[in-house]
Structure 1
Amino acid sequence: MAHIFRWENANMITKLSKVFGKEVYTTSGARVGRVVDVNIDVNTRSVSDIFISNLDSAFQKKQGIEDKKGIIYSYSGIRNIQDIVLVSDMKPLISESVDESAAPEEPASEAY
């Protein structure tokens, strides 16, 4: 039997597949990047982090991570998922930045 993971945060329930490719913005309106992967705790069947790639150059400069391809962001900082992923302001919540050799490849974009 296949399990379908669902994204749950307070009153927010979203199918995991709907999160991939979404743009990520902070609550102050700054573009961060795009969701390309998630980490799932298989014991609790819950999302622990999201991997954000395609980082905005202004965001990278502000955070001092110009040489990084992506960041791993804690699930606890996600505020809402609708047309975009809305997260708390980034500085205190960046758990790890990832260089190009360790980053997962970005999925192919779909034509609209």
Structure 2
Amino acid sequence: MEITANPTPQEITSLVGREVYSNNGVFVGQVEDLRLDLDSERVTGLALSQLNGELFKDRARGARGVLIPYRWVRAVGDVILVNDVVERLKEPEEEAAV
């Protein structure tokens, strides 16, 4: 899997359907939709579905998906890499127990 910075603009719809992984290689979910700021013409978030049940078991019970901020995106290629979501979602008492 090769991930390179692509200076050529892409259609934002090309992100839909891509798998999302954390920096540690943990599957997070699949892009279902995008959140846009029309005033600044920027993508501000990724709406994910087909979530990794282990990551979101306590946070997204019964939810069809989650919205993650686009600032978490580290790289876009065949897949999308985001900052380590696992660490960001842990409760403080879970971190102390690890």
Q: TM-score range by the shorter chain?
A: 0.7 to 0.9
> For residue 70 of structure 1, what is the amino acid of its counterpart?
G
Are 2:68 and 1:73 equivalent residues in the alignment? yes
Partner of 2:32: 36
Deviations 1:25-63 (A, max 9, x none): 0001110110001111111100111101110122223xx
Query: TM-score scaled to structure 2, two decimals?
Result: 0.73
Higher helix share: 2
The structure that is strand-richer by fraction is 1
Inter-partner Cα distance in structure 2 for 1:79 and 1:24: 11
**Higher RCO (CA < 8 A, seq sep 6+):** 2
The unaligned stretches of length 5 or more in structure 2 are 90-98
Q: Give the alignment's Cα RMSD to 1 decimal.
A: 2.3
SS of the counterpart of 1:14? coil
List runs of 5+ in structure 1 lacking aligned partners. 1-8, 94-112
Q: Deviations over 1:79-112 (max 9, x none)?
A: 111110100011437xxxxxxxxxxxxxxxxxxx
- The total of aligned residue pairs comes to 83
- Who is 1:83 aligned against? 78
The 8 Å contact of residues 60 and 66 in structure 2, kept in 1 or not, is answered as no
Higher mean displacement: 67-76 or 11-20: 11-20
How much identity, in percent, do the aligned residues show? 27
Scaled by the length of structure 1, the TM-score of the pair is: 0.65
